[in-house]
Chain A
Amino acid sequence: MKVAFRIWRQDNPNEKGGFKEYQVDNLNADMSFLEALDHLNELLVLRNEKVVAFEYDCREGICGQCGVFINGRAHGPHDNVTTCQLHMRSFQDGETIVIEPWRAKSFPVIKDLIVDRSAFDRIIEQGGYISAKTGTAPEANAIPIGKEISDRAMDAAACIGCGACVATCKNSSAALFTSAKINHLNLLPQGQPEAYRRVIEMTAQMAKEGFGHCTFTGACEVECPEGISITNIAEMNARYFKAKIFS
């Protein structure tokens, strides 16, 4: 199998950057997309060129580190998968595949396809936790939590923090990411004491980081590898109003 990779190359944050095209042969349909890029990089090394910088770690769809725009879509042509779970069988022989980094003001490019998503960490730092010290926990079954609540919390908690939601949103909104974490914790009894503070402080940080507002286009939930629903955003908004009134 043979394809042309048209890849965004940018040596550092200050450089302008641009597309460069690479012909890559000897691929096979069972290769993952990232393995095809590995293959390209080996070719580049042997041609004495700098490799394409791209991110990955677990390569099984859970660490959230990989993620690029492929032919205009976050994580490539399929719904709800990560880039590492994409395989070359999803492309045609001879196809030109355009690869870009996540594009959002709050995710500045570091190099080539690598962006800085530390804004997500800073949102979590503003309340994406339960303030309880190690050693203070009551018996785990002391507080019963119904399966429905626990399942809903798990649905939201599944977020892998890849940033596809932001990258695909026309407003570069981080509402899906932020709402998922808020709802996960605010649904649970353990999250109640800080529920109001959490939603107010995390959303404030989200705005401070320069993410746009959500206008409910629903683009994010299509790309989310964990299929996190945009109803989370509505729920976050409801929690926000409640917090503003009662806190």
Chain B
Amino acid sequence: MKLDTKIPQGKLEEKWRNYQVKSKLINPANKKKLNVIVVGSGLSGAGAAATLAELGYDVQCFCYQDSARRAHSVAAQGGINAAKNYQHDGDSVWRMFYDTLKGGDFRSREANTYRLAELSAPLIDHFTQQGVPFAREYGGVLVNRSFGGVQVQRTFYARGQTGQQLLLAAYSQLSKMIRAKKVSMFPRKEMLDLVVIDGKAKGIIVRDLVSGDIQRYAADTVVLATGGYSRVFRLSTMAIGCNGSAIWKAHKKGAFFAAPSFTQIHPTALPQSSEAQSKLTLMSESLRNDGRIWVPLKKGDSRKANEIPEEERDYYLERRYPSFGNLAPRDIASRAAKERIDAGYGVGRLKNAVYLDFKHAIKQFGLETIKDRYGNLFTMYQKITGVDAYTKPMQISPAAHFSMGGLWVDYELMTTIPGLYAIGECNFSDHGANRLGANSLLQASVDGYFILPNTINNYLASEIKETTVDTDHPAFFEVEKEVKEYIQQILSIDGNKTVDHFHRELGKVMWQECAMSRNKTGLEKAITQINKIKESFWSDVKVTGHSLELNTELEKALRLADFIELGLLMCTDALEREESCGAHFREEYQTADGEAVRLDDQYAYVSAWEYSNGDFKLHKEELEFEFVKPTVRSYK
């Protein structure tokens, strides 16, 4: 199967316009006859559901949480990038496009990445109109700050709660359309499978998480906006409920999975403090604007941070990457931290952290300014650790964070299953092998508000001629039956180990072998180990309670069963890519001083995996760089 990216003709800056001009339209009277299912109510899902409803489509939106306002977009702290050039510091759409492409280590499409940058400026207008209280100057104009991998200031923010404010704006627009009866909202319903009829996505099977009922929903098209899958590592910055099940089920029904092993490890999370830990809390990358990262120069230095004099501190990012310093991109900053920690310079009780110090910034700008910029992050740090970071440096550590990989989508954000779209973090579209900070809120929003509402019509325009299928179609009953049997199968195992036990096992393997650095032997070992975990899960897991009730253990078990399979694919993908690029660092491919060696001759492609009977088949989307020449990604 040849992967058709559907990238429009023309110059880079004309492609999106050319696309819009040629895309098919649907008249308003016909739009209301077309039904769209949106799974997920985060920034991309809620934005898409609200906007599609404004356009006149009949929308049904689903989320597993108790309210659309809980989706994990809420937790993004630092900000959202846009090429507004308000700071007059030489920013432009082109520069933002180039930063993003380079940040992703030239493993994403030029056309998609350019569109992301192009639509960033109108997005800030859009959110301002929706009432997002972005940070402002006294004179009333918007403020910007810097983020990693970038030398201009293009990040807009609402204190350390930017994701929350953008999500609440999207949720408010969704609420507006719920009131207008153009969106039917279904909270506490989790998608368990996709229904494909004659090769097209036509509906979903969900479990009502309160009653446990298995229900069928039909539509003319299905949009997945289900977020990232980094909970595969168990310990991550994701919400506990974040899962890969919807995209995994779609994958098993024929949607190709792209670059599954491209997962980002965030450099500034709070370190793990106990075996029982369920998640790692992120401290925003924006802190690296003013905070300086260091470890003691002396191995195993047991002095308190404030007792270590300046000349005995190693500001290793400033040392290794003088031009970007503490604002080196995430993959680089994480690996540099891991390098120091592994070499025995880690700090904290478990020696698994590095310092993030605001001493100099407080001295330079004053305590009040630092409080104004990061107050809520310092409060959060104190709540969790009990430590006042205004007087002592924070301790931070790398943690699994964003998944650049996801369902393969074309320029229209459609997967390889006609009628099935993937938007936001659950697709692989714009970030290549590493995402730049403050680009995830951007991508989720742009996908949901601006791109999908302009591309979905191109598909639906021909669907209007088809007869609408309803949930009485035999295909729905068939999938419903499979889902019910699958649930019974899990419940009937009645083994001796908890779901969390298996998740911890999986997490350990994934973190050890498929996180910040990878190698052939380790990945092969990981695949063997995960297969064992899978076997053991299906023979020894214990889930109490039954299917027809609110059963949180069952929910966890269903999600974990998919994570185990996804873990296999991630390791397979990492094994196949014999080069280092972005977040994918293969130990065999590095320079003498530990920098990544990318091999464009052999690996300038997006891996797109097809599921076939429990096995994975590789397809390649060759990346063509027509407008920029991939260079060695240096931040030195």
Q: A59-B240, A62-B164 are in contact. List 4 more A-B contacts (CB 8 A).
A: A61-B380, A63-B65, A141-B142, A154-B159
Task: Provide the residues of chain A in CB contact with B450, threshold 8 Å.
Answer: 134
Quick one: which of A127-158 are within 8 Å of B by CB? 128-141, 143-147, 150-151, 153-154, 157-158
Assess whether B210 is in contact with A89, with CB atoms less than 8 Å apart. no
Please, what's the 1-or-0 string for A153-171, where 1 marks a CB less than 8 Å from any CB in chain B? Answer: 1100110110000000000
Assess whether A125 is in contact with B178, with CB atoms less than 8 Å apart. yes
Please, what's the 1-or-0 string for A5-40, where 1 marks a CB less than 8 Å from any CB in chain B? Answer: 000000110000000000000011011101110110
Task: Provide the residues of chain B in CB contact with A53, threshold 8 Å.
Answer: 550, 552
Assess whether B175 is in contact with A129, with CB atoms less than 8 Å apart. yes
Interface centre among B50, B376, B380, B544 (most CB of A within 10 A): B544
Please tell me the size bucket of the interface on A: 35 or more
Of A45, A60, A147, A190, the residue contacting B129 (CB under 8 A) is: A190
With A60-B380, A139-B125: A48-B278 Cβ-Cβ less than 8 Å: no
Q: How far is the CA of A49 from the CA of B449 in the complex (A)?
A: 45
By beta carbon, the residue of chain B nearest A13 is B210
Of A41, A42, A59, A140, the residue contacting B142 (CB under 8 A) is: A140
Q: How far is the CA of A35 from the CA of B141 in the complex (A)?
A: 43
Question: By DSSP majority rule, is chain A's interface helix, strand, loop, or mixed?
Answer: loop
Task: Provide the residues of chain B in CB contact with A81, threshold 8 Å.
Answer: 383
Of B128, B137, B239, B553, the residue contacting A51 (CB under 8 A) is: B553
Q: How far is the CA of A58 from the CA of B344 in the complex (A)?
A: 32
With A118-B66, A161-B69: A59-B164 Cβ-Cβ less than 8 Å: no
Q: Does B111 contact A (CB under 8 A)?
A: no
With A30-B274, A45-B544, A117-B67: A132-B241 Cβ-Cβ less than 8 Å: no
With A140-B142, A145-B136: A63-B550 Cβ-Cβ less than 8 Å: no
Please, what's the 1-or-0 string for A82-107, where 1 marks a CB less than 8 Å from any CB in chain B? Answer: 00010101000000000000000000
Q: How far is the CA of A117 from the CA of B281 in the complex (A)?
A: 25
Of A46, A50, A61, A143, the residue contacting B498 (CB under 8 A) is: A46
Of A63, A110, A129, A190, the residue contacting B72 (CB under 8 A) is: A63
Quick one: which of B132-172 are within 8 Å of A by CB? 133-142, 158-159, 161, 163-165, 168, 171-172
By beta carbon, the residue of chain B nearest A126 is B179
Task: Provide the residues of chain A in CB contact with B29, threshold 8 Å.
Answer: none
In this complex, how many residues of chain B approach chain A with their Cβ under 8 Å: the count is 84
Assess whether A128 is in contact with B130, with CB atoms less than 8 Å apart. no
Assess whether A137 is in contact with B125, with CB atoms less than 8 Å apart. yes
Q: Does B115 contact A (CB under 8 A)?
A: no
Q: Does A239 contact B (CB under 8 A)?
A: no
Assess whether A63 is in contact with B75, with CB atoms less than 8 Å apart. yes
Q: Does B289 contact A (CB under 8 A)?
A: no
CB<8 Å pairs between A and B, sample of 30: A31-B276, A35-B274, A38-B500, A46-B496, A48-B544, A49-B544, A57-B72, A57-B239, A58-B70, A58-B239, A59-B278, A60-B75, A61-B380, A61-B383, A62-B161, A62-B164, A65-B70, A118-B67, A118-B187, A124-B69, A125-B179, A129-B176, A134-B449, A134-B453, A144-B139, A144-B140, A157-B131, A158-B376, A160-B74, A190-B130
